[in-house]
Amino acid sequence: MTEKDAKEAILSAVKAYCDTYHNQKPPFREGQRIPYASRVYDSAEMVNLVDSALEFWLTSGRYTQQFETKLARYLGVRYCSFVNSGSSANLLAFMALTSPLLGERRIRRGDEVITVAAGFPTTVSPVIQYGAVPVFVDVTIPQYNIDTARLEKALSPKTKAVMLAHTLGNPFDLKAVKSFCDEHGLWLIEDNCDALGSVYELDGKERLTGTIGDIGTSSFYPPHHMTTGEGGAVYTDDPLLHKCIRSFRDWGRDCVCPSGQDNLCGRRFDRQYGEL
């Protein structure tokens, strides 16, 4: 048996196993508990999972590249970077805005970031971790999204960005927030972890949430719209922000080579750094 034959036999057995022993749900009974979120999958997902394991590529590889490309295409953005969680996605999105490559617009320690007073901790924790100052704005009821009427009062000479989540799939007032950010030269990060696929009409055009601000983030934790088990993504249309995002994600690496490839630029060994 060749390696190809062995792989096909394993994956065929995996498909049969999933079809036989998974997703065999009994008929619904009155009074039965209905979870608000659950795993939705079939043999295709299980086969892909085992296929990835057989390949045994332990860093980002073929599946990561496919995921980034297809998610960017779905969202209609140019760049997408896969990460290990939605929390890391928020941290990465914020840290990208601290890059010296952004000049005077970079966020520095002590700068202020407007955010919402009621939401998930990881929308706020990157601001605190870096040493910037979160400025909390209350929500409206029953929307539970930011009260945009309070934005001007939250503004100060130290304000550099607005970082907000769309609550439980319901977009915040993007028109008002985007206009506010544009007027005052502020970055806008959309925490899109609860709202992947939500549509917002802006300037007569329907757009997906997460693509209207400068940077959007998603989470693929099991209770969200789709899951990778754990996982998240950061996406943007801005090539400079993408460069910052990739460099921070890859611990300062400033290179376009995909994982497993080297020296695509042909200049890896043609410079002298100090006495090395």
Q: Which residues are identified as catalytic? A: 224
CB within 8 Å of 6: residues ≥ 6 apart: none
Instruction: Report the C-alpha gap between 242 and 236 in whole angstroms.
Output: 7
Cβ burial of 210 (10 Å; 0-12, 13-18, 19+) is: buried
H-state helical runs in the chain:
3-21, 43-55, 62-75, 86-96, 125-130, 151-154, 174-184, 239-249
Cβ burial of 222 (10 Å; 0-12, 13-18, 19+) is: middle
CB-based contact 89:232 (threshold 8 Å): yes
CB-based contact 97:263 (threshold 8 Å): no
CB within 8 Å of 132: residues ≥ 6 apart: 107, 108, 109, 110, 111, 112, 113, 160
Instruction: Report the C-alpha gap between 190 and 128 in whole angstroms.
Output: 18
